[in-house]
Amino acid sequence: MNFDILTLFPGMFSGPFDESIIKRAKDKQLIDISLHNIRDWAVDRHQTADDAPYGGGAGMVMKAAPLAACIESVKAQHPTSTIVLTSPHGRRLTHTVALELAEKSGLIIVCGRYEGIDERIRSIYAEDDISLGDFVLSGGEIAAMAIIDSVTRLIPGVLGSSESAESDSFGDGLLEYPHYTRPPEFKGFVVPEALLSGHHEQIRKWRRKESLRKTRSLRPDLLSKAVLTREDRKMLAEIEHEETHGV
């Protein structure tokens, strides 16, 4: 899968894609990440890529012409890739959105900066618009990193046999169950007996129940959307009883 990042600050990406899962995916040629400095498409000697907003006000706006030229150049190289803007106007990045994006042949991610981009870029070129949430970042670069990381781990062959995207939080609509490793006791806290039992069905039930417990406690909104089995509903009733009676 091809990821093309259009940015005013390509130096921000030095390092994040050279470690761990992303690096392995690149080494296995499962993904390709290319950086494109938008200023390279500016026509003046100062490589100006921003200007004051019409109508006045604070801040600067990314100019349409150099960004359009950059988009068109990259799109010509990867005509089937989807053009994605990073901005507060977009739909929120969720696991479901990441799954959808992972089905694309490639993504051309435009990193916004300053007060934003000239709106005509969105009108002419944007095929998708992604936000990380209701907070402000200095630019879209961090959002681009998050999009690429969340999508890459869903590409077949990226995760090894000891890793799984299916069991991650949100993979089935719930938060993931707690994890433990050696030693079995640490500062008075012990690993739950079920995980030490070696009994696969007991472990499965414990993990499912704790996944439901954590979701109910921290993200109850997810339960209303999750597809719950009869066993899940029984476990939730047990959890409610335990919490009510202090078990």
Residues with a known catalytic role: 88, 115, 153, 168
Q: SS3 for 186?
A: strand
Q: How many CA atoms lie within 13 A of 157 on its CB side?
A: 9
Query: Tokens 């030693």 label which residue?
Result: 183
Q: 113: which DSSP letter?
A: B
CA–CA dist 91, 42 (Å, integer) = 30
The residue among 94, 92, 97, 61 whose CA lies nearest residue 82 is 97
CA–CA dist 140, 146 (Å, integer) = 10
β-bridge partners, 129? 85
Asked if residues 84 and 137 have their Cβ atoms less than 8 Å apart, the reply is no
CA–CA dist 85, 130 (Å, integer) = 6
Q: SS3 for 150?
A: helix
Number of neighbours of residue 225 by Cβ within 10 angstroms:
9
Listed in order, strand segments (DSSP E) in 77-170 are 82-92, 106-111, 128-131
